[in-house]
Structure formats: structure tokens, C-alpha cells
Amino acid sequence: MNDAWLEHLITEEEERTFAEQGYMIVENAIPQELVERATQVADRVTAEEKEKRGLGPSDGLLMLDFVGKDDVFLELLDYPTTFPLVWGILGWNIQLYHSHMIITPPNAVSGPGQKGLNWHKDSGRLNNELETDPQPRISLKVAFFLSDASELGRANLYVIPGSHLLNKLPVDEDKKPKGGIAILAKPGDAVFFDRRIWHASSPNTSEVTRKALFYGYSYRWLRPRDDMTVGHIIGDLDPIRQQLLGASATGGHGYTSPKPEDVPLRGWMQEKAGYNGAD
């Protein structure tokens, strides 16, 4: 099961980059064939959702909880070029706590009422209620880019490198956010970012609709940030996917004090990836 992960274990350089910069880009993480398949499904799901919400073709769409809507989204959940990096950073007690798809047509923005860059850290109240500075990481996102955002103005994701270690948004003398860069992602690239990094979506001033799928991974004790509508599929999935989608064989206790059967990823890492079982 999942031996392809062994070919993409996290490197020391990736670990260091992510720890220091708070983000990293895995270029060509998924092949164009998969980009095309995922795009077809994303287009279908977008059309259905827009119809439901009464939105037109030029409206942006932020759609939470897409992961259970098609097998292609499950394929990306534990994809060989990205998932080993997720557990390489967070370890084995992990889950998908959140998925969202953002579609940004020409002239649209992805945030409701958004004008420029909507700088934020992820996870809402965690940023107010965790007392430390810097705060703990707790989760990260992997954004799969399906469209070509390799030029400026294509609703690029912006980040402030290194700002995951700063609770306050870094600003210049005029109180303007300082140090932001646009990520120029190509179709098939995966962008990893720490939930704490100051990041922003941006307006699309190009002719190319921006399409990206975001997978949020966290420790299993964090409550999901969306409805995680997966009850209709979870029973048919392999044990590691079940873990990722929120299963706990021993119930509530198993999220904070997991037994081996709650966390099959841990057993797999011990058997296959040289993990020695230490926390």
C-alpha cells in the first residue's frame, strides 16, 4: 500500500526551507494528465455550485468541503509527491481538517468583498487564543494549482516569507504590509504553506481563470474547519485515507491519545519508512 510515497520522502533542504520560510513550492507535483482530469471535475463542480448559489460565469467561487465530491480529489489527498512531505513535516497524527477550492475568473477576487490583498493567517480564533509568540504550527495547506498562475495578475497567492514566526503582520513606516511576494505557480505545481504565514489572495486582472485546490492538514485533535462530507465514501477507503478523513477506531479518546488502530499511517511509517516509533 502506498509504496510510491517512499520515492518522495522529505529532504533536509525541504524541511529547512519550510521551517525557515513558512512555505515551499513543489514544481510539477502532479502530471498534466492529472491536472486535466482534476480541472474537468473542478469545472463541473464549479458549474453545479454556481447554479445552486445563483452565481454567474464571471463570479468568483470559494467552495469549502470539496474533497468527497469526486475520486480525483481523493487521489490528490495522499498524492506521492506531496503527502510524504506533509507527514515529513507534521508527523503521523494527522488528518485533513479542511478542503477548499477557489475559482477566480478574470476581474474577480476570491475573498467576499475583497479589494486588494486580504492578508491573513489561517484558522481564525487560533490566532487569538493561543498565547505564544510565535504560535505553534498546528496545520499547513497544500495548494494544487490547476491553471497557469505563473504571471503576475493571475490571482496569485501572495506570501510574506518567514512571517509564520511573526504574530503581527509586518508593516513598513506607512503601515503597509511589507515583504509580500507573489507565487508564480504553473499548472501542476503544489504550494505548501504553514497556517501561520501571512498570506493573501489577489485580484485577477488577466484573461485566465485561476483554479486552485487547497488541502488543509492538521493534527487529529483539531476540529475540522468545514463539514468534511465524507460519510458516503469513507467506508470503502483504505485505512490511511480513513484516518486522513477523520476516522478514529477508538472514538473520541483516539484523537488525543491514539492507539495503533487509530493511526494506520504510523504503522505504515514504522514498517516501510524507517520510522522508529518515537514521538
Ligand X SMILES: O=C(O)CCC(=O)C(=O)O
> Applying CB under 6 A, which residues contact ligand X?
102, 110, 122, 141, 157, 199, 201, 214
- Residue 25 CB, nearest approach to ligand X (Å): 13
Nearest CA-CA partner of 95 in 249, 240, 233 = 240
Specify the residue, 11 or 205, whose C-beta has the smaller distance to ligand X: 205
Exposed, middle or buried by CB within 10 Å (0-12, 13-18, 19+), for 243?
Answer: buried
d(CA 34, CA 101): 16
Specify the residue, 210 or 220, whose C-beta has the smaller distance to ligand X: 210
d(CA 94, CA 248): 11
- Residue 15 CB, nearest approach to ligand X (Å): 22
Given a contact cutoff of 8 angstroms between Cβ atoms, the answer to whether 163 and 170 are in contact is: yes
**Sheet (strand 199-200) strand order:** 181-182, 158-159, 199-200
Specify the residue, 214 or 255, whose C-beta has the smaller distance to ligand X: 214
- Residue 214 CB, nearest approach to ligand X (Å): 5
Given a contact cutoff of 8 angstroms between Cβ atoms, the answer to whether 153 and 121 are in contact is: no
Specify the residue, 35 or 61, whose C-beta has the smaller distance to ligand X: 61
- Residue 254 CB, nearest approach to ligand X (Å): 28
Given a contact cutoff of 8 angstroms between Cβ atoms, the answer to whether 145 and 191 are in contact is: yes
Given a contact cutoff of 8 angstroms between Cβ atoms, the answer to whether 226 and 99 are in contact is: yes
Location of C-alpha cell 501542476: 188
- Residue 128 CB, nearest approach to ligand X (Å): 17
Specify the residue, 197 or 265, whose C-beta has the smaller distance to ligand X: 197
Specify the residue, 215 or 268, whose C-beta has the smaller distance to ligand X: 215
- Residue 74 CB, nearest approach to ligand X (Å): 20
